[in-house]
Amino acid sequence: MIRLTILYPNEEGAFFDWDYYINTHTPLAKRCYGNAVVRWEIDRGIHGEQSEDAAPYMVAAFITLTSASDLDEVRATHGIKLKADFKNYTNVYPVYLVTNIREGYP
């Protein structure tokens, strides 16, 4: 399994429409990703290392998928449509990280 992490930086002047993201973009993305998704989590940034520090990211989405090839297929088929929706809920481009999930460390 792999994990796609999508981080929306909390830059000066950045905005993020949480309601649109949860109620419109996420259902769209879930339809596009379909059965390739094993788990879907969305976190909203609270603060940084110290409670008085601003959160470095406004939102973090963690999508666990069955395989990298499934992710590639979703991106090839639906990537343009999903990215075109960004402008409806944010003015920042997200940071992407794809990782290989390894469980059972000694």
Per-residue confidence (pLDDT) for residue 105, from 0 to 100: 72
Per-residue confidence (pLDDT) for residue 85, from 0 to 100: 96
Per-residue confidence (pLDDT) for residue 42, from 0 to 100: 97
**Whole-number Cα distances in Å, 48 to 24, 33, 41, 88:** 28, 30, 19, 26
Per-residue confidence (pLDDT) for residue 34, from 0 to 100: 94
Residue boundaries of the structural domains of the chain: 1-56+90-101
**pLDDT under 70: residue ranges of the chain:** none
pTM as predicted: 0.91
Based on its alpha-carbon atoms, the radius of gyration of the chain, rounded to whole angstroms, reads 15
How do residues 39-61 score in pLDDT, each as one tens digit?
A: 999 999 999 999 999 999 999 99
Per-residue confidence (pLDDT) for residue 104, from 0 to 100: 77
